[in-house]
Amino acid sequence: MTQRPYVIDELISAKAIAARIEELSRDIQEEFNDTSKLVVVGLLRGSFVFIADLVRELDLPVEVDFLEASSYGDAMESSREVRILKDLRSPIEGRDVLLVEDIVDTGFTLSHVINLLKSRSPAKLKCIALLDKPIRREVDIKADYTGFEIPDEFVVGYGIDFAQRNRNLGYIGKVRFTD
């Protein structure tokens, strides 16, 4: 598959991301201050950088697990069909859970995953998203904690990809096609 040529313009700096994660971690610690262990569930693959930085800021006992869901593939638009590609390794019944998402766009993936996790009877379930693109929402859902609200731009970096590229950028950038 040939990809259209593009450039990436910085939208959110690495410094701004780090500062926001510090703020969010304080709120999460307050929410879960009485937990015996917080199960932090990262939605793969886009959340892996965010989850790593977030858990290092949490002064709580944490367990990390991952769930992989897909509704995009290599496309720029959601297929609206959510598939679970990798499930959790451990049960979450009766446990405190923080779901970590990279970006909430249409809301289909987040809604599907939250309903799946709720069906497993966690003691408490909260969700954090690094990015929120509310203009694109098609499902009435919102993360409990949000890093940044962004405009309707296709973004990459900080774990978020475009056809498996650009995850390694330390910042969030918007894709601008040059053809």
Residue 19: domain span: 13-150
Whether residue 105 lies in the annotated active site = yes
Does 116 fall in a domain? yes
Q: Are 162 and 177 in contact (CB under 8 A)?
A: no
Cβ neighbours, 10 Å, residue 115: 10
Residue 141 belongs to domain with CATH number: 3.40.50.2020
User: Which position among 105, 140, 144, 161 bears the catalytic label?
Assistant: 105
Q: What is the pLDDT of residues 123-170, one digit of tens each?
A: 999 999 999 999 999 999 999 999 999 999 999 999 999 888 999 999
Does 38 fall in a domain? yes
Lookup result for tokens 């290092």: 56
Q: Are 111 and 84 in contact (CB under 8 A)?
A: no
Judged against a pLDDT cut of 70, whether residue 74 lies above it is answered with no
> How many domains is the chain built from?
1
Does 4 fall in a domain? no
Beta strands in 5-112 (DSSP E): 6-12, 38-44, 62-70, 83-86, 96-104
**What pLDDT score was predicted for residue 79?**
55
Does 155 fall in a domain? no
Q: What is the pLDDT of residues 28-56, one digit of tens each?
A: 999 999 999 999 999 988 999 999 999 99
